[in-house]
Amino acid sequence: MTLSPQIRVVAAVIRRNGKVLLAQRAPGSHLAGMWEFPGGKVHDGESDAIALQRELQEELALRVKVQNLLGQASAEYPGKKVQIWFYQCQLSEVHSEPQLREVADFRWLNWEELGALEMPAADREFIENFQYIPCRE
């Protein structure tokens, strides 16, 4: 039996005005059209923080400060197992707006609205298990 490769992924929970940022996976990508917390794979030799900063710049042209680890979730897909580490992040430029670079769309949503979106299993697991505490702004 061949073991599936395990992929380490990082995702950002970015809050602004009481809402969180979600991105829609691009057409042609794995799980295309699904909504997720933005982020991506950690490359060999990268820290989680550096990978998250790189991914957010590449996907949405955002600069962030990576703060604390909020949780972890995993999912298995044909031929691979994904472990996602979710980090609280803060926009470096408060008024910056995401740009569509490597994602199909983005939305700022209330936490309660996330359950209605089609999401990958690991993102859904995080939402169901994470105790969301609204931030004071």
Task: For residue 54, tell me if it sits in a domain.
Answer: yes
Task: For residue 24, tell me if it sits in a domain.
Answer: yes
Task: For residue 137, tell me if it sits in a domain.
Answer: no
Q: How many domains does the chain have?
A: 1
Q: What is the CATH number of the domain that holds 67?
A: 3.90.79.10
Pure H helices in the chain: 48-60, 121-129
How long a stretch of residues is the chain?
A: 137
Residue 53 · residue 38 · CB < 8 Å: no
Q: Which residues pair with 36 in a beta bridge?
A: 23
Task: For residue 135, tell me if it sits in a domain.
Answer: no
Task: For residue 64, tell me if it sits in a domain.
Answer: yes
pLDDT at position 80, please?
85
Task: For residue 15, tell me if it sits in a domain.
Answer: yes
The range of the structural domain enclosing residue 115 comes to 6-94+102-129
Task: For residue 1, tell me if it sits in a domain.
Answer: no
pLDDT at position 137, please?
43
Task: For residue 112, tell me if it sits in a domain.
Answer: yes
Which residue shows structure tokens 């809050």?
15
For 92, which DSSP code?
A: S
Q: Which segments of the chain have a pLDDT < 70?
A: 1-4, 131-137
CA neighbours closer than 13 Å in the CB half-sphere of residue 67: 10
pTM: 0.89
pLDDT at position 130, please?
80
pLDDT at position 29, please?
84
Q: Is the dihedral of CA 54, 55, 61, 64 positive or negative?
A: negative
Residue 100 · residue 106 · CB < 8 Å: yes
